[in-house]
Amino acid sequence: MSALGVDTIKTCLLPMRREVISWGKKEGWNSIFVFKTILAALLAMWISMKFNLDQPSTAMITVFIVMQPETGMILTKSLYRIAGTLAGTVASLVLVGLFAQEPELFIIGLALWVGICTAGAAFYRNFKSYGFVLAGYSSAMIGLPAALQPQLFFSISVTRLSEVTLGILCAGVISDIILPRRLSDIIISNVQNRYTEFIAFVRASLAGTEGQQELENMHLRLVDKVISLELIRSAAILEDPEVRARNLRIKNLNSEFMSASTSYHSFRQLMQRLTKHSAPAGKALKTLYESLGNTLVTVGEAPRTAKEARRAARLIAAFRAVLSRRVEEVRTTLSDSSDPQTMLDFETAVELLFRFVRELHVYSTTYSALQNKEQDIKSPDDISFASSTDPVVALLTGARSFGAILLVGMFWIVSAWPSGVNALLFVAIVSSLCASAINPARAARQMAFGFMAGFLAAFLFKFLVLPSLDGFMLLCAGLAPVLIFGRYLCANPKWAEIGSGFVIFFTTMVAPTNSMQFDPVVFINDGSAIIIGVAAAGVMFVTLMPATGTWLKRRLDRQLRHQVVMVCSDSLDGLVHRFESSTYDLLHKLSSNRLDGGAQDQHLLAWVFPVIEIGRAIIHMRQDADALQMSRSLSDKLRESIRSIARLFERPSAPHQNAATESTVNAIKTVSLELELESCCGHNRDVLRRILTSLHLIRTSLLDEDTVLGAMVPASSPTLLEGAKNAA
C-alpha cells in the first residue's frame, strides 16, 4: 500500500479513535459500574440464600441504593446507612412496644417519626441527609411486620439488619477489589476541569465571543462543580489519608474559586455598564482590560495540569507586577482632563481588577500545589462550607410524608385491606427517598413510572421465565439482563429516578428465595398496593406546595435576597466564605430545579447577580470600615447606607430602592469630603478609597436599568450616569 493510502487511512481513523476514547472515558466507566453493581447484588443474593435469610431481595436492594461509582462514596454512605438503620430499629422497637395493641396510635406514631426523619433529610445535606432517610424507612420496614407479629420483633429486626449489612458489605468489597475508582482521583479531575472551564469562561468574556446568556449558563455550570467538589471532599476524608492531609487545601480551592469568580463578575458588570453608556472611564480602561486578556488568552488550550497552572500563575504574577505602573499611566492621563465621576468610575474598576488578579493568582497557585505531599498548615479562618436550607420547607416536606402515611394507614385500618401493609411500607420508602431530592415532586413522579415498569417486568419474569430456570446460575443469568437495563437507566441523570424505581420494584416483586411461591393473585394484590402507596406519596409531593409552586419560589426568592440582609448584620468573622458558599448553594438549587422559564422564574434568576455583587461589596466595605478610625458623621452615613440596603433586599420596592440609592450617595459624598481633609494620613486614605469604590459599585448596581433593582426606578428618577454625576 502506498504512503498516500496509509496517510488517508490514518486521517479517516483519527476521528474514530477520538470518539472511542471519549466514549471509553464516560460510557466505559458507566459499563464497569453497572457490571460491579449487578455482581455485588447477585453475590448478596447468593449469601442470603446460603444462610437462609428471609428476604434476599432486601440485601439486593441495599446494594442498588448504596452502590456508587467511587469507593469512598460507598464507605461513607454505608456508615450513615448502618447508623440510620439502627436508629430506625430503635424507633420501631419503641413504637411496637407502646402501640402494638393500638393500630391507630401506631400509625400516628410511625407517621410522626417518618415525618421528622423526612424533614431532617430535607434540611441536612450530603450523608447526614441520607442517615435521616434510612432512619425513616427502616422503622417502617421493621416496625410494620413486627406490629402484626410483636412476638417476632427481635427475629425480624435482626434479620433485616443482617440483610442490610450484608448488602453494604457486598457493595463495598466488590467496589474496592474490581477496578476501584478512588475519590482522590475524582477530586483531581474535578479541580482540573473546573479550573480549565473557569479560565475558558474568563477568556470568552474578555474576548467577547459569547453572549450574556451563554456566559450566565457557564457560570451556573461552574457553581455545580463547587457543590460537587464539596460533596466528594466530605466523602473522600474517610477513604484516603492523602485527601485528609490535603483537606484544607481543597477547602481553600473552593473558597478561592468563589472569591475570584465573584470579583470577576463584579468587574465585568461594571465594565459593561461603563461601555454601554460610553463613559470616558470605560474607554480609558480598555487598554488594561485588553492587557489582562493578552495575559490569559494565550495560544493553545486553557491550562489543565499543575505544571500548566504554575506557568499561568507566573504569567499572572508578571501581569500584577506591571499592572500598577500601567494604572498610574492611565490615571495620570485621566486626571488632567476628567471630572470626578470619571475618576470614580476608573478607581472602582481598577480596584476590582486588582482584586480579581490577586485572587486568580492565589487560586492558580493553590491549584498548582494540589498534588504536593506535604501536610497542610491550618488556616486561621473558618472556611467550612455553609449550606443554605429553609427550615420551613424542610418541615413542609416532613408534613407531606406525615400526611401520606396517615391517610394510607387509616384507610388500611378502616378497610382491613390485606395488602395495606405493603402500601404503607412504600409510602414511607418513597417519601424518605424523595425528601432529599432538589425537586421531590419530580423525583416521586419519575419513581412511580419506574415502579409501574418494574411491576410489568417482574410479572412477566416471575411467571413466564423464572419457572424454567433451574439452579442458581440460571437464576443469575435470567436476572442479570433486566437488572442491567435498570442500572443503565440509573446511570443517566435524566432517568435516574425511573431506573431506581424499576430495579427496586422488580427486585421486591420477584423476591428470589430458596423456596419460591408463584401466586398471581397475591402478586397482583401486593404489587397494586405498592403502586397505590407510591402514588399516594407522589400526590402529596405534587399537590402540597410542590417545588415548582408559587409559594416555594417565593420562599426561594426571599432566601436569596436574605443573603444581602445577612451580610449587613452578621459578624465579619468568616463572613466572606459563609456568604459565598451559601449563595452558591442556592444557585445550585436554582440550576438543578430546571425552571420552566416563566415570568416568576425569570424574576427569581434576575436577583442572582445583584445579590452576589452587592453582598460582596458590603462585606468589603464593612471590613475596611472596621479597620478605620472614622468620624462620627462618616460612621453614621455608612450605617444608614447598610441599613437602607438591607431594607431594600428584605422588602423590595421603589421607595426602598430610592432610599438605598440616596443613602449610598450621601455616604459617597461624606467619604469624598473625608478624603479632601489634609489631616488624612496615607493609610487612612487608602482605606477610604476602598470604601469609596465599594459604595460606588453598590450605587451603580442599584441604578443599573438592566437589573431587577434598576427596573424599580421610576421613569422620572436619575439614570445611571445622571445619578453618578449627582454623587460626584
- Per-residue pLDDT of 572-606, as tens digits, reads 888 888 888 888 888 877 776 655 555 666 767 77
Q: Which is more confidently placed, 723 or 69?
A: 69
User: What is the reported pLDDT for 240?
Assistant: 65
**Closest to 139 in 3D by CA, of 164, 167, 102:** 164
Segment among 77-91, 123-137, 418-432, 701-715 with least mean pLDDT: 701-715
Three-class DSSP labels, 440-460: HHHHHHHHHHHHHHHHHHHHH
| CA angle, 572 then 224 then 371, to 5° | 80
Report the pLDDT value the prediction gives residue 719, as an integer from 0 to 100. Answer: 47
Instruction: Name 684's Cβ contacts closer than 8 Å, sequence gap at least 6.
Output: 628, 629
Question: Which amino acid type is present at position 226?
Answer: V
Integer angstrom CA distances of residue 501 from 212, 319, 322, 490, 639? 39, 55, 60, 9, 55
Q: What pLDDT was estimated at residue 517?
A: 81
- Look at 249-263, 374-388, 500-514, 552-566 and tell me which has the smallest mean pLDDT: 374-388
* Mean of per-residue pLDDT scores for the chain: 79
Computed over its alpha carbons, how large is the radius of gyration of the chain? 30
Q: What is the pLDDT of residues 101-117, one digit of tens each?
A: 888 899 999 999 999 99
Query: How many Cβ atoms from other residues are within 10 Å of residue 274's Cβ?
Result: 25
Q: Please name the residues in contact with 161: beta carbons below 8 A apart, sequence gap of 6 or more.
A: 85, 86, 89
Contact 289, 274 (CB under 8 A): no
Task: Kindly state the average pLDDT of the residues 464-473.
Answer: 89
Contacts of 252 (CB under 8 A, 6+ apart): 366, 379, 383
Rounded to two decimals, the pTM is 0.78
CA atoms of 163 and 506, how far apart (whole Å)? 18
CA-wise closest residue to 148 among 418, 404, 333: 418
Distance of CA 206 to the CA centre of its chain: 28
- Contact between 538 and 426 (Cβ < 8 Å): no
141/59 Cα distance (integer angstroms): 13
Question: Which of the two residues, 137 and 722, has the higher pLDDT score?
Answer: 137
Under DSSP, is residue 678 helix (H, G, I), strand (E, B) or coil?
Answer: coil
Q: How confident is the model at residue 723 (pLDDT cuts 50, 70, 90)?
A: very low
Residue 536 banded pLDDT, cuts 50, 70, 90:
confident
Residue 136: predicted pLDDT: 85
- Distance between CA 694 and CA 620 in Å, rounded? 7
Give every CB contact of residue 286 below 8 A, 6+ residues apart in sequence.
none
